[in-house]
Amino acid sequence: MADVESLVSSAATVYARKYGKEPQWFAAAPGRVNLIGEHTDYNDGFVFPMAIERYTVIVAGPAEAETDAEFYSMYKNKSAFVQVDGSAKPPLHVAWFSYIQGTVQNVFEAGLTIPPFRAVVVSDVPLGGGLSSSASLEVAVATLLESAAGKKLDPVEKALLCQKAEHLYAKMPCGIMDQFISAMGEKGFAMLLDCRSKVPKMIPMDSPNVSVLIINSNVKHTLTGSEYPDRRRQCEKAAALMGVPMLRDADLELLQAKKEVFDKEIDGDICFRRARHVITENARTLAMAEALTEKEWKHCGELMYESHASMKDDFEITCPEVDILVDVTSKQKGVFGSRMTGGGFGGCTVSLVDTDKINDVIESVSQRYERQTGILPTAFATQAARGAYCPKE
């Protein structure tokens, strides 16, 4: 894992080699992990992400060209040329262009004057690993443009325009979590985010004795492709059956009281269990914010295990490999709790672990997981990191 300083220096070296001068503008934006609160966002509920010590870094300087800007991605070893004069139109067909062009366009529409420039992008957020390299790229671009234009955006507006870029240009209907935490994360804090009011609340997560361990199962199942829209529909139906606008507005008592209404429906049992996941997950997310504030690690861990069980049995979005990963992790000394994080059917787990035991846990879990699945996982530990900033300011 590289730190921001070394990412800046490797991008600056490439910039100097390509363009024969030093960069003038610098931006860094982190990836994120969701501690708890899964599939609650589109039900107007609560999520609880924190920024991780993995960043997308951009270095840049002015160019002589008239209207466009060049972004050279060290990962892709390619340049994307984007319009800075407000003339871009969605959607775009090359995925990684679309995140950048969409953000540039939306920053332009927010009123910033963007000079023609050249930029080099480097990232140590794993791409496509569920840690939101896409949001970190968008937020890094917006942060860079603030420097280039000499004007700051309102942080909430900045996060929302990055999300809009992902919706309109990359055609990815994501929630608000990723861009909010990447833009507004603070070192030593996780963010309890109410997806209805869009008001974030920073919760201290600054104990050096406890670390967040992220383990990638290195599996991703694509089943029929309708898993996500199916669940959204089931959640909407469950809310309608209970007579509430969104599942956020229901509680377990109401769900139980409406059991007979669900029983009359052909997919009543599924909708009932989907609702039970969302209702209990919202409650767990709020409880986790309290437990974390009180540094009640054991309680935090229990909530994480319960979250995983609920995703497995009620929401049915885990998979055998991830279940094995959580199970073997739970048996290690120094582990408080563990769960799958992200959309589901593979991806990463997040665990709360005694910092002194991290290396033992990684070694032992890797061995056991590989023995049972034949797949080698990848793992790293992190503390709650800082949101987007300009490294040289």
Give me the active site residues, please: 178
Among 123, 179, 318, 329, binds ligand ADP (CB under 6 A): 123
Q: Does 137 bind ligand ADP (CB under 6 A)?
A: yes
Ramachandran angles phi, psi of 65, nearest 5°: -55, 165
Using DSSP's 3-state secondary structure scheme, residue 59 falls into strand
Q: Cβ of residue 76: shortest distance to ligand ADP, in angstroms?
A: 5
CB of 131 to ligand ADP, least distance (A): 6
Q: Residue 225: exposed, middle, or buried by beta-carbon count in 10 A (0-12, 13-18, 19+)?
A: exposed
Residue with Cβ nearer Mg ion (132 or 338): 132
Gap between the Cα atoms of 85 and 115, Å rounded: 9
Token reading at 301: 């861990």
Q: Terminal CA-to-CA distance of the chain, rounded, Å?
A: 23
In the bound state with Mg ion, the residue whose beta carbon lies nearer, of 220 and 299, is 220
Cα–Cα distance measured from residue 210 to residue 214, given in angstroms and rounded to the nearest whole number: 13
Distance CA 191, CA 41 (A): 14
Beta bridge partner(s), residue 211: 353
The 3 state secondary structure assigned to 168-219 is: HCCCCCCCCHHHHHHHHCCCCEEEEEECCCCEEEEEECCCCCEEEEEEEEEE
Judged by beta carbon, residue 171 or residue 298, the one nearer Mg ion is 171
- The verdict on 127 binding ligand ADP (CB under 6 A) reads yes
Beta bridge partners, 41, equal none
DSSP state, residue 65: S
Residue 136 binds to Mg ion (criterion: CB under 5 A): no
Q: Interacting stretch for ligand ADP, rule CB under 6 A, among 5-13, 68-76, 290-298, 364-372?
A: 68-76
DSSP states along 21-40: S---EEEEEEEEEE-S--S-
Piece of 131-139, 198-206, 324-332, 356-364 that binds ligand ADP (CB under 6 A): 131-139
Which residues make Cβ contacts (< 8 Å) with residue 291, sequence separation at least 6?
299, 300, 303
Determine which residue in the list 121, 161, 247, 292 makes contact with ligand ADP, applying CB under 6 A. 121
Which residues make Cβ contacts (< 8 Å) with residue 362, sequence separation at least 6? Answer: 213, 215, 379, 381
Per CB under 6 A, the segment of 85-93, 133-141, 247-255, 359-367 that binds ligand ADP is 133-141
Output the smallest distance, CB 126 to ligand ADP, in A.
7
CB of 279 to Mg ion, least distance (A): 27
Question: Rule CB under 5 A: which of 323-362 touch Mg ion?
Answer: none
Q: Are 72 and 117 contacting, i.e. CB atoms less than 8 angstroms apart? A: no
Residue 17 corresponds to which tokens in the numbers above?
């080699």
Min dist. Cβ of residue 276 to ligand ADP (A): 27
Instruction: State both tokens at 346.
Output: 């593979």
Position among 1, 95, 240, 390 found at the interface with ligand ADP (CB under 6 A): 95
Mark 237-256 with x for binding to ligand ADP (rule: CB under 6 A) and - for no binding.
--------------------
Please, are residues 206 and 189 in contact by the beta-carbon 8 Å criterion?
yes
Q: Which is nearer to ligand ADP, 292 or 325 (CB)?
A: 325
- Interaction mask 172-211, ligand ADP, x per CB under 6 A: ----------------------------------------
Q: How many residues bind Mg ion (CB under 5 A)?
A: 2
Numbers of helices and strands, H then E, in the chain = 12, 12
Tell me if 383 contacts Mg ion by CB under 5 A. no
**Which position among 34, 40, 43, 73 is part of the footprint of ligand ADP (CB under 6 A)?**
73
In whole angstroms, the minimum distance from the beta carbon of 79 to ligand ADP comes to 11
The window from 101-109, 123-131, 145-153, 285-293 that contacts ligand ADP (CB under 6 A) reads 123-131
Instruction: State the binding string over 97-116 for ligand ADP (x if CB under 6 A, else -).
Output: --x-----------------
Residues lying near ligand ADP in the complex (CB under 6 A): 56, 73, 75-76, 95-96, 99, 121, 123, 127-134, 137
Residues lying near Mg ion in the complex (CB under 5 A): 132, 134
